[in-house]
Amino acid sequence: YAPQAAPMTRQMKQLAVKAKLLGGDTLCSPEMGKLAGDAVNDVVFCAQGGSMLDKTAAGPTFKAKYKQRYNQDADVYAAPFYDQTMFIGESIQKAGSLDPDKVGAVMYKTSYKGIMGTYAYDDKGNMKQAPITVYTFKNAALVPLASY
């Protein structure tokens, strides 16, 4: 988490440690840049679920509408949560029921094209494809490097 990793990153810089700090989505936080300053630049690398919103066809429009409606930038989870909500809603309609087993059965048999990509699940409920984006920091700000 940022409150623990940021001081460690500052110490790494003070001690001239040449290693990189790798972590999950808890390090992919604006708090890391605020708490560690320039010590995070090209040193902290983290991964979050999802694709780069700017690289998807509907991403820029979603970002603009989100900003207009909520007066803040969409975070990394905004679009996939929206997509999943829409997928569940569509599955409820197709199932003609709110019964979780019936809705789940529809979701396992179909797919949904959302803002971040196409969502589909196997029979165990795991996503068939789960994109991930790797980030680093530039000028103490989170910057996406690549999505896989």
The whole-number pLDDT of residue 130 equals 81
Q: How many domains does the chain have?
A: 2
Yes or no: say if 89 and 95 are a contact pair by the CB < 8 Å rule.
no
Q: What does the pLDDT look like over 117-131, one tens digit per residue?
A: 899 998 788 899 888
Model-level pTM? Answer: 0.74
In terms of C-beta density within 10 A (0-12 exposed, 13-18 middle, 19 or more buried), how is residue 72 classed?
Answer: exposed
5-25 average pLDDT score: 95
Task: Give the pLDDT band (50/70/90) at residue 91.
Answer: very high
Is residue 126 in some structural domain?
no
Residue 15 sits in the same domain as residue 30? yes
Yes or no: say if 93 and 85 are a contact pair by the CB < 8 Å rule.
no
Residue 67 sits in the same domain as residue 112? yes
Residues 115, 74: Cα–Cα separation, whole Å = 13
Q: What does the pLDDT look like over 41-80, one tens digit per residue?
A: 999 999 988 778 888 899 999 999 999 999 998 887 899 8
Residue 67 sits in the same domain as residue 106? yes
* The residue type at 49: G
The whole-number pLDDT of residue 35 equals 96
Residue 63 sits in the same domain as residue 111? yes
The whole-number pLDDT of residue 53 equals 83
Is residue 103 in some structural domain?
yes
Residues 66, 141: Cα–Cα separation, whole Å = 21
Question: Range of 43's domain?
Answer: 2-50+131-147
Residue 62 sits in the same domain as residue 116? yes
Is residue 125 in some structural domain?
no
